[in-house]
Amino acid sequence: MIIYIHGFGSSGQGEKSCAFRQYFKKNKIPFIAPSLSVIPELALSTLEELIESYENVVLIGSSLGGYYALYLSSKYNIKCVLINPSIYPYTTLREELPQTINFYDDKEYSYHIEKLKSYEVNHLEEQNIFLLLQKGDTVLDYREALKKMPKVKTILEEKGNHRFDGIERYFDEIHHFILY
């Protein structure tokens, strides 16, 4: 089962998730892309329930979804594909979002952003990670991912953007990584 984890402000119906869904459907590989809560604890709880419900799970995560995928890959010892992943979302989201929004638990969003630190991974199973980066990403600094994961399988492109222009060009390579 392939589980696609979208980034902050996206959904399971985003452009990338729909492209992946179409590719994996065509190749008869089970695929889901749930729309996740913006609250990290809720998003991760949903993803953990899904991982524990299926066999042979592989994660594909983009941006904040890449951060979640890295955490879950480490926790469950499963493969993950990271697309322009957020390495320090508790810093980047704090800079981008108002901190006074209250959520379901009457806590301000800054509380939930701070909670993201508890999901940081320091020990990596390098053979389980495939990293795709584009230097043209103006939202996240690709160098942070390279510094954290210098020895993983990596594709690094000179231009591009945060969405990863032309991700479809790598679907077959991602498929191969998933299988082997």
pLDDT at 180: 84
Q: How far apart are CA 93 and CA 80, in angstroms?
A: 22
CA 115-81-72 angle, to 5 degrees, is 35
pLDDT at 143: 98
Q: Which residues touch 40 (CB under 8 Å, ≥6 apart)?
A: 68, 112, 115, 116, 119
Query: Domains in the chain and their CATH numbers?
Result: 2-179 (3.40.50.1820)
pLDDT at 16: 96
Q: Which residues touch 90 (CB under 8 Å, ≥6 apart)?
A: 113, 114, 116, 117
Backbone angles phi and psi of 149, in degrees to 5? -130, 60
Both tokens of 45, joined, read 């709880």
pLDDT at 86: 97
Q: Which residue has the tokens 């609250």?
A: 39
SS3 of 68-125: HHHHHHHHHCCCEEEECCCCCHHHHHHHHCCCCCECCCCCEHHHHHHHHHHHCCCCCC
97 contacts 103 by C-beta, under 8 angstroms: no
Q: How far apart are CA 20 and CA 153, in angstroms?
A: 20
pLDDT at 104: 57
Average pLDDT value over all residues in the chain: 93
| Interval 100-120: pLDDT, tens | 555 556 667 777 788 899 999
Confidence (pTM)? 0.93
Both tokens of 113, joined, read 């952003």
Q: Which stretches of the chain score pLDDT less than 50?
A: none
149 contacts 135 by C-beta, under 8 angstroms: no
pLDDT at 106: 61
pLDDT at 133: 98
